[in-house]
Amino acid sequence: MADHTDPKQQCSVHPDTLAMVQRARQEGIETVWDRAQAQEPQCGFCSLGLSCRNCVMGPCRLDPFGEGPQQGICGADADIIVARNLARMIAAGAASHSDHGRDLVETLLAVAEGLAPGYQLTDLAKLDRIAAEFGIAADLPPQAKAKELALAMMAEFGIHKGHLTFAKRLPAARLDLWQKLNIAPRGIDREVVETMHRTHMGVDNDAVNILLHALRTALSDGWGGSMIATEVSDILFGTPQPVASQVNLGVLKKDQVNIVLHGHNPLVSEMIYRASHDPALIDRAKALGAGGINLVGLCCTGNEVLMRKGIPMAGNHLLQELVILTGAAEAMVVDYQCIMPSVGQVAACYHTHLITTSPKAKFPLAQHHEFTPENALEKGREVVRLAVENFARRRPERVFIPVEPVQQVSGFSVEAILGALGGTPTPLLDAIKAGQIRGAVGVVGCNNPKICQDLGHTTITRTLIASDILVLDTGCTAVANAKAGFKDLSGAALAGPGLQAICEALKIPPVLHMGSCVDNTRIIALAAALANALGVDVDKLPIAAAAPEWYSEKAAAIAAYAVASGIYTVLGVTPPVLGSKTVTDLLLTGLEGVVGAKFAVEPDPEKAAALLIRQVESKRRGLGLDSRL
Ligand code: SF4
Ligand code: MSK
């Protein structure tokens, strides 16, 4: 376990996490850090990507020191096994985002057909814009247009000819490059299925060929499944605009019914939000002695309702067990993705109800209340009522909320950013050309108990904004940066003089929250818009990305689509590829000559920030702009 006297060894940089980990130890409740320690030492073969269980002639593992087996039973060598494993990882991530997108499209269709009474078309202007991208007649009424759009998007999931519609947002040069490389993304399901086929024993046994298809699969997520998820969420629930809110465990309220919204898809949380405003349920909460009903977010469902509704954010990935330890959560309502199977055990130590809502995601020790487009509003009321009644079972002496909340401003969709700039990217480009803003970096991704929670996110972000680089964040990074105070308007004081002046003029923080994991597509869409406005391909822009604490297969897919889209990406956790020199060399160097961008792996966040700054400055030089290097 970490040495808590050394800041680099502590399990978190944040006082709320540290206080709650201590409480877990006092109460004898196991957390993710205890289980991580119990797994030490982790398997070296798997860490290097050198183990394979793709068939039952195996499992096989190769000796990284060259003394034991160098081939699996079928004859697969290290390059083949590592490439196959990485491709499957990316496919699983792409599938997760895209299945989330599909659920939204099915709901859009149900809304259009009048079968989803809780939902509505909220952003009609966005419906018009997206429908136009899909070539749908402009003069259709909204319901008919939404139906056409849902059907067109559904078609994109399957056997789609040509490339995905949203890829047209990119400069022509990027699409041409993908077509030349045969990696322009087709149907999302098709690319994932093809990855699983190619990585079956006896199919694709060329590491480079496997990896190129892995990029294509990731692109079908970034410019397909994830982008569809973002855009349809905006149509159904509204396109985010800047909104003030709060963050950290202090957003739970001692005197209120607290409901924690966890997972990724806003379909459930939006209905809980509506139900939480039901006067009868608020009256019932008051009758039970609570001041009201308080919704708080966790992980990316939290980001979704924060971006659109200003719901305060309790924490990110590694806070999910600890939020229950406050003893103040009447219910944790989950949809899917990034929900640890352990949360039911922790909830069982308190009065908290763990409530699952998706037929795809059932959990031990949970109550299941299945949401469908047809019943969601009614189910939302049922779940909120359950939480309210549970307030009577709370034991006040066990309530421990260790901190006061921190202020933040969220809600920076592409539309909101362009709105703040007067409707076009030109002022941002002018600031970049003038050197006031050096460039932009997307700092994104998860927490991982291998890394002191949020040290990577906050160190990199702090260094970048001090160097006049605008930071765009999503996912768990967004929570880390908000807790560190970077996303209050006063965060501008932490920026370099150029970025600070822009932030003060526009009344924005130096770190712009662009949403959840699927909303990384907002970042690539903004990159495409900047590239188009400048008349260059994406890989020429002074931009980069970082995933300092990633853990998830989805993060692998995001990083792969960022690089394939031309964005240099620094990872803070080493992916399981070092067992193959061919694969490692391709990712760290070779890809640059193929797609114009590559990966770097740098666990030290200060060194990672230096790499990102160097990248931004060198791209500035490439554009003929001044460079500080
Ligand atoms: Fe072993 Fe080959 Fe089967 Fe993998 S596919 S488990 S390397 S025999
Ligand atoms: S929740 S994928 S831990 S960012 Fe999107 Fe956080 Fe990563 Fe899940």
Cis amide prior to 279 (ω within 30 degrees): no
Does residue 73 have its Cβ closer than 6 Å to ligand 1?
Answer: yes
CA angle 64, 66, 71 (to 5 degrees): 80
The preferred substitution site among 46, 51, 71, 73 for testing ligand 1, maximizing ligand atoms within 8 Å of CB, is: 73
φ and ψ at 296, to 5 degrees? -135, 150
- Tell me if 300 CB under 6 Å of ligand 2: yes
- Which two tokens mark 227? 């982008």
- Model-level pTM greater than 0.95? yes
**Are the beta carbons of 122 and 266 closer than 8 angstroms?**
no
pLDDT, residue 3, reads 45
How far, in Å, is the centroid of ligand 1 from the Cα of 383? 46
Provide the pLDDT for residue 9: 65
Over the stretch 553-582, which tens digit does the pLDDT of each residue have? 999 999 999 999 999 999 999 999 999 999
Determine the atom of ligand 1 nearest the C-alpha atom of 52.
4
Residue pair 297/306 in contact (Cβ under 8 Å)? The answer is: yes
pLDDT of residue 96: 98
Ligand 1 pocket, residue 74 CB under 6 Å: yes
Q: How far apart are CA 623 and CA 534, in angstroms?
A: 10
Residues of the chain with pLDDT under 50: 1-5, 7
Q: Rounded to the nearest 10 degrees, how much is the dihedral formed by the CA atoms of 548, 541, 536, 539?
A: -40
pLDDT of residue 159: 72
Decide: 588 in ligand 1 pocket, CB within 6 A: no
Contact assessment for residue 626 and residue 433, using Cβ atoms and an 8 Å cutoff: no
Quick one: pLDDT at residue 629? 86
Q: What is the CA(560)–ligand 1 centre distance, in A?
A: 25
Burial 175-199 (b: 16+ CB within 10 A, else e): bebbeeeebbbbbbbbbbebbbebb
Strands (E), 103-231: none
Res 1: pLDDT: 42
* Mutation choice for ligand 1 from 81, 84, 88, 203, CB with most ligand atoms inside 8 A: 81
Q: Using a 6 Å cutoff on CB, does residue 552 contact ligand 2?
A: yes
- How remote is the CA of residue 176 from the centroid of ligand 2, in Å? 32
- The C-alpha atoms of residue 504 and residue 511 are separated, in whole angstroms, by 13
Domains of the chain in start order, with CATH, are 7-61 (no CATH), 78-161+177-236 (1.20.1270.30), 249-398 (3.40.50.2030), 411-622 (3.40.50.2030)
How far does residue 60's CA lie from ligand 1's centre (Å)?
6
Separation of 334 CA from ligand 2 center, angstroms? 14
Return the best residue to mutate from 264, 298, 320, 552 for the ligand 2 pocket (most ligand atoms within 8 A of CB).
552
Encode pLDDT of 70-113 as tens digits: 999 999 999 999 999 999 999 999 999 999 999 999 999 999 99
Distance 57 CA to ligand 1 centre (A): 6
Ligand 1: nearest atom to the Cα of 202:
5
Q: Which among 221, 306, 318, 446 is the best mutation to test ligand 2's pocket, defined by most ligand atoms within 8 Å of the CB?
A: 446
- Nearest bound ligand to the CA of residue 55: 1
Q: Which atom of ligand 1 is nearest to the CA of 71?
A: 7
Judged by its nearest atom, the ligand closest to the C-alpha of residue 520 is 2
| Orientation of helix 520-534 relative to helix 553-564, angle to 10° | 0
Minimal CA–CA distance to 95: which of 5, 217, 180? 217
- Give the pair of three-digit tokens for residue 401: 């909320």
For a pocket test of ligand 2, which of 522, 554, 571 has the largest count of ligand atoms closer than 8 A to its C-beta? Answer: 554
Nearest-CA residue for ligand 1 atom 2 is 74
pLDDT of residue 4: 41
